[in-house]
Amino acid sequence: MDKKISFNRRTFLKGAAAASAGLAIGSSTSSFNLTGLKPADAAGDNKAQVFRNACPRNCYDTCAILSHVEDGVIKRVSGDPGSTYTRGILCAKGFSYTRRVYSPDRIKYPMRQKGRGSGNWQRISWNEAYTEIAENILKIKKEYGSTLPICLDKYSGNFDIMHYGIEGMMSSLGYTSRATGTPCWPAGIDAQTFDMGTIISNDPEDLVNSKYLILWGVNPAWTSVHSMYFVKEAQEKGCKVVVIDPVLTQTASKADLYLQIKPSTDGALALGMARYILDNELYDGNWLHNNAKGYEEFFGYVKNNITLEWAADKTGLPKAVIEQLAREYATTKPANIWIGYGMQRHTNGGTNVRAIDALAAITGNIGKSGGGAQYAHLQTWGFNYHAMMQNPPEGTEGGGDRAINMNNFAAEVLAAEDPPIKMLWLACRNPMAQDPETSVMRKAFEAMDFVVTVDQFMNATVEMSDIVLPTTTLFEAPGVNVSYWHWWLYLNEQAIKPMHEAKNDITIAMELSAKLNELKPGSCTFPTSGDLEEWVGKEFNDGIYQMFGINHWTDLKKGPAKAKNSQVAWKGGKFQTPSDKYEFYSEEAEKFGHHPLPIYVEELKTTDKYPLRCISPHWKLNIHSQFQNLDWMESINNEPRLEIHPSVAKEYGIKDGDSVKMFNDLGYIILPAKITGTVPIDTVVTYEAWYKSKDFNVNYTVKAIPADMGKKATGMPGIAFHDNFVNIEKV
Amino acid sequence: MGKQLGFLVDSERCIGCHSCEMACKNYYQLHPSLRRRKVHPIQENDYSMPERNYMSLACNHCVEPECMRVCPVGAYSKRDDGIVMHDPSRCIGCKMCIMACPYQVPQFDPEVKKVDKCKMCAQLIDKGEKPACVAGCPMEAIQIIDITSFNKYGAVKLLPGFPNPSITKPSVRFIKPTIGKQIRRDK
């Protein structure tokens, strides 16, 4: 793009922002019908423009998107061929984006609800909303002498770096309470942190170099379709693909070998394999000698405590199968393991990941192209966090923010004292649908004086709020995105004006700051104006430029950039542990209350009262509570199901399509049965999702049981989502 | 027979992700009810072991299209390359084609009260580009082939659940899914 066009576009965007800010009540910009996207009255020429966008969802793939805009309307989206990871292709979710942007269900203007949960909403102006919010904040501050009664619950709904400005908005008020932790993956992060010092994974494009690949509790065919392409390429080149999963997933359906392990016993399988590798001297003694600490102790533990018979009994897999797997894995080079987030959502999930890491280490696969123990990485996230780094107002007293465990959020909000929590601010988050113990969550919301939610759709969390503020989609505001899996960097350009009265979270922070300072000067430090695209630029630094080989962030307008020299994790053999070595024996682990070695920790088991385990993995047409509500998704599927093994169904007298009640002490859900041999005999499966206008929420039965690890790296342990024990009955 | 373009659907590569279907909807911004391409699950008991396998189908651009034969207003035509075209300006929405097609390909567009169907993105093919579904498949599981010269080992004319091809001679070929080895706990 030459300078002149760039200048024109910026002028256009500034004009658009001004027009948006000046919208009066009743002047909704959009009129939508089902077949045609009516053009909004954009300034500028009528020629089609192509903008670079990035999918900011909590997903491995973080796709590079091109949006094709005519007359201010996105006519379609496509994959950006500039990324060799996404290869110019999106997924079903990415291809549905116009239906999200132009959905008639979008929240169009600020609203106030009279009676939380009543559905009695009334439209208000942004000014009214800001005034009411600011008055509530100032009232709390006056009453408690602090802003700690205000709690922010924000997480993964949008991982664009600019969205950390939401945390910045809170910091600019003073010290507040913060939902801390991450529900998704912390046990595995801690496990790899104990073993290697941090999480670093090979470039997923390197999967094609594997000769043996174990996909362990991960389902890329649904959760990382672009990686699945590289898996298939490897397979076609002769790589044996093994899937270990309690559920015969879509990925398992494409494997050469599928092992239906008993849930939560992955560590037993890994240790059984280690015993075989040890007994048959298939380990890489050289690698261990040079790179590892505590392998003698680990081998001692394995020798004295682990037998293949025990591993077979634990995992439900025949001894001969474990032996063959161990032999093939240890003798085929390079051998790769991709450790999924699903398998660590157990009370022993972290220690199970450590046992799997140990396999990769004893066979000398770590630090090799086509080898390793892949989990995730955060190497490309070294931004300035300019939007996030805000100072509290002058004279703020206290010792900093208060951490509220995101993974036991409702109970901790209710239990918070001195001061109690009185106000919630929710953004990029839908805890009423996605958190465990929904009934406790409801109580926590009911106990609040004031709840503000920033969102795009009327979901379960919005329903329990006093004020809802409409926010922009990724196409309506600029940003910058990286991935926790691939090594690409994408600029997200503003492609269209904000729809309706929606505002970007940073704009909301700026305007709320202005209101707070108008009512009480000096009460908020967040800047009250600024060009959002310039703010994107302020996120960059020399480290990022060097890592990605760019001179300036605006270079990314020409196309995405990939990190240099990052293709193989731990290539140099220097780890980030206290000993600089791979630590089979980790004193850090011990400090956090774990055994220093990756021993086996007993899994939770079904009970007589609750003889079935419910696993609630990701669904292919959504990411948590996003996408499944769109009409294009509904046309493919609009009904959650409970997947039940044929013999279990027979035992309970359940036929395909029958209504089934799944229940435990916490609650129940009723949904149609799907009888399928893809689930095991002791487990039922339903995919977590938010279906518009359906009272489906698997978390009605999920208890907030902590996973074993997560505290070191993420502040809080994870959630053992898949240790959910239930019974079922035909309704 | 001259040229006859058709889809080659590789059900071994297909992961049932619906990207093809959504890429089509995105390209044409279709009404939610219109599914020019549909990803059909293959029944678990159609193979030796339960697996998740799919058959992605759009218009089969039949050699002997029933839709074209029954259309009372000549809205259907067949191009030299075998693509079955449908002209909405002629269509009167009588739905005869919908009843005639063994594959339930033509669909009624409730907005314009006419029939809608896949035209293999003929305008893109003419420019040497790939149809939206082909270009949008993350697994490269769909290709355009000329069935008159296509001869790939292992390609078949039907998969379980696919209607009898003898009626209309559909121009679609499949690669069968392979069933991997499974170690299960219910045996």
pLDDT band for position B1 (50/70/90)?
A: low
DSSP string, A401-459: -EEEEGGGHHHHHHH--SSPP-EEEEES--HHHHSS-HHHHHHHHHT-SEEEEEESS--
Contact A43, A10 (CB under 8 A): no
Contact A531, A138 (CB under 8 A): no
Residue A273 has pLDDT above 80, yes or no: yes
Q: What's the confidence (pLDDT) of residue A567?
A: 81
Q: What's the confidence (pLDDT) of residue A219?
A: 98
Inside any domain, residue B183: no
- The fold of the A111-182+389-475+496-552 domain, in CATH, is Rossmann fold (3.40.50)
Chain pair A-B, CB pairs under 8 angstroms: 144
B positions 34-53 inside 8 Å of A (CB): 35, 39, 44, 49-53
pLDDT (tens digit per residue) in B7-42: 999 999 999 999 999 999 999 999 999 999 999 999
Interface test with B, best of A32, A33, A35 (most B CBs within 10 A): A35
Alpha helices, DSSP H, located in A22-96 = 92-95
CA distance A392 to A173: 6
**Of B38, B41, B43, the residue nearest B18 (C-alpha):** B38
Residue A6 has pLDDT above 70, yes or no: no
pLDDT (tens digit per residue) in A393-420: 999 999 999 999 999 999 999 999 999 9
Instruction: Residue A215: list chain B partners with CB under 8 A.
Output: none
pLDDT (tens digit per residue) in A422-435: 999 999 999 999 99
Which two tokens mark A483? Answer: 């991935």
Shortest distance between the Cα of A264 and any Cα of chain B, in A, equals 15
**Of B73, B101, B68, B102, the residue nearest B84 (C-alpha):** B68
Q: What's the confidence (pLDDT) of residue A13?
A: 34
pLDDT band for position A566 (50/70/90)?
A: low
Do A257 and B186 make contact, defined as CB atoms within 8 angstroms? no
With CA atoms as reference, the chain A residue closest to B12 would be A254
With CA atoms as reference, the chain B residue closest to A318 would be B183
B11 touches chain A (CB under 8 A): no
Residue B132 has pLDDT above 80, yes or no: yes
pTM of the model: 0.94
Of B51, B109, B138, the CB nearest to A225: B138
How does DSSP classify residue A188? H
CA distance A70 to A50: 9
Q: Is A519 helix (H, G, I), strand (E, B) or coil?
A: helix
With CA atoms as reference, the chain B residue closest to A257 would be B181
Of A79, A90, A253, the CB nearest to B52: A253
Any idea which architecture A3-101 has in CATH?
Single Sheet (2.20)
Do A253 and B112 make contact, defined as CB atoms within 8 angstroms? no
CA distance A296 to A278: 11
Which two tokens mark A165? Answer: 């400005």
Instruction: Residue B39: list chain A partners with CB under 8 A.
Output: 636
- The mean of the pLDDT values for chain B is 97
Q: How far, in Å, are A53, A613, A658, A695, B44 from residue A673 at the CA level?
A: 39, 15, 5, 16, 16
Q: Which residues pair with A292 in a beta bridge?
A: A582
| Pairing, β A450-455 against β A467-470 | parallel
Do A89 and B19 make contact, defined as CB atoms within 8 angstroms? yes
CA B105 vs. chain centroid, Å, equals 8
pLDDT band for position A223 (50/70/90)?
A: very high
* Number of neighbouring beta carbons within 10 Å of residue A21: 13
With CA atoms as reference, the chain B residue closest to A621 would be B17
Do B29 and A75 make contact, defined as CB atoms within 8 angstroms? yes
Residue A205 has pLDDT above 70, yes or no: yes
Residue A615 has pLDDT above 60, yes or no: yes
Of A35, A78, A254, the CB nearest to B15: A254
Residue-wise over B91-118: b if at least 16 C-beta within 10 A, else e? beebebbbebbbbebbbbbeeeebbbbb
Overall average pLDDT of the A511-528 stretch: 98
Contact A467, A452 (CB under 8 A): yes
* Number of neighbouring beta carbons within 10 Å of residue A661: 15
Domain map (residue ranges) of chain A: 3-101, 111-182+389-475+496-552, 186-375, 612-730
Q: What's the confidence (pLDDT) of residue B2?
A: 87
| Cis? peptide before B110, omega within 30° of 0 | no
Interface test with B, best of A98, A224, A230, A632 (most B CBs within 10 A): A632
Which two tokens mark B150? Answer: 């296509």
Do B135 and A257 make contact, defined as CB atoms within 8 angstroms? no
How far the first Cα of chain A sits from its last, in Å, is 62
Overall average pLDDT of the A632-659 stretch: 98
Interface test with A, best of B13, B19, B130, B178 (most A CBs within 10 A): B19
pLDDT band for position A693 (50/70/90)?
A: confident
CA distance A660 to A642: 8
Q: At what angle do helices A349-362 and A295-305 cross, to 10 degrees?
A: 110
Q: Return the biggest CA–CA distance within chain B.
A: 59
Give A88-99 as a 3 state SS string. Answer: CCCCHHHHCHHH
Helix (H) or strand (E) holding A78: strand A73-79
Residue A26 has pLDDT above 60, yes or no: no
CA distance A275 to A255: 25
CA distance A215 to A243: 5
Which two tokens mark A594? Answer: 């774990």
**Of A411, A421, A405, the residue nearest A442 (C-alpha):** A411
CA B117 vs. chain centroid, Å, equals 10
Overall average pLDDT of the A37-66 stretch: 76
Q: What's the confidence (pLDDT) of residue A40?
A: 35
Residue A41 has pLDDT above 60, yes or no: no
Domain that holds residue B63: 5-175
pLDDT band for position B187 (50/70/90)?
A: confident
* Residues recorded for chain B: 187
pLDDT band for position A21 (50/70/90)?
A: very low
Inside any domain, residue B69: yes
Inside any domain, residue B184: no
Q: Is A163 helix (H, G, I), strand (E, B) or coil?
A: helix
Shortest distance between the Cα of B76 and any Cα of chain A, in A, equals 23
Contact A497, A479 (CB under 8 A): no
Do A89 and B185 make contact, defined as CB atoms within 8 angstroms? no
B positions 102-141 inside 8 Å of A (CB): 109, 111-112, 135-140
CA distance A81 to A177: 42
* Number of neighbouring beta carbons within 10 Å of residue A543: 11
Q: Which residues pair with A373 in a beta bridge?
A: A337
Shortest distance between the Cα of B172 and any Cα of chain A, in A, equals 22
Residue A257 phi, psi (nearest 5): -140, 130
Inside any domain, residue B180: no
Number of folded domains that form chain B: 1
Which two tokens mark A248? Answer: 């015969």
Q: Which residues pair with A643 in a beta bridge?
A: A674, A685
Do A678 and B137 make contact, defined as CB atoms within 8 angstroms? no
- The mean of the pLDDT values for chain A is 93
Q: Is A74 helix (H, G, I), strand (E, B) or coil?
A: strand
Q: Return the biggest CA–CA distance within chain A.
A: 76
CATH code of the domain in which B164 resides = 3.30.70.20
CA distance A410 to A238: 49
Shortest distance between the Cα of B167 and any Cα of chain A, in A, equals 28
| Cis? peptide before A104, omega within 30° of 0 | no
Overall average pLDDT of the A41-62 stretch: 80
Residue A27 has pLDDT above 60, yes or no: no
- CATH classification (class only), A612-730: mainly beta
Helix (H) or strand (E) holding A79: strand A73-79
Residue A521 CB partners (closer than 8 Å, separation 6+): none
DSSP string, A669-728: EEEEEEE-TTS-TTEEE--B---TT----GGGG---PBPS--HHHHSS--B-TT-EEEEE
Residue A421 CB partners (closer than 8 Å, separation 6+): A149, A150, A151, A177, A404, A413, A448
| Pairing, β A292-293 against β A582-583 | parallel
Contact A623, A433 (CB under 8 A): no
Task: Identify the CATH assignment for A186-375 out of 3.40.228.10, 3.50.50.60, 3.40.640.10, 3.40.50.720.
Answer: 3.40.228.10
Q: Is A49 helix (H, G, I), strand (E, B) or coil?
A: strand
Q: List the strands of the sheet with A212-216, edge to edge.
A: A372-374, A335-339, A212-216, A240-244, A257-259, B181-183
Shortest distance between the Cα of B49 and any Cα of chain A, in A, equals 8
To the nearest 10°, report the CA torsion of A438, A443, A447, A453.
Answer: 20
Helix, strand counts (H, E) of chain A: 25, 27
Do A253 and B136 make contact, defined as CB atoms within 8 angstroms? no
Q: List the strands of the sheet with A561-562, edge to edge.
A: A479-482, A488-492, A561-562
Of A36, A79, A253, the CB nearest to B51: A253
Which two tokens mark B69? Answer: 């034969």
CA distance A255 to A213: 10
Inside any domain, residue B49: yes
Cβ contacts of A519-523, under 8 Å, gap ≥ 24: A519/A131, A519/A134, A519/A135, A519/A138, A520/A138, A522/A393, A522/A394, A523/A137, A523/A138, A523/A141, A523/A173, A523/A393
pLDDT (tens digit per residue) in A148-171: 999 999 999 999 999 999 999 999
Residue A174 phi, psi (nearest 5): 140, -160
CA distance A616 to B138: 25
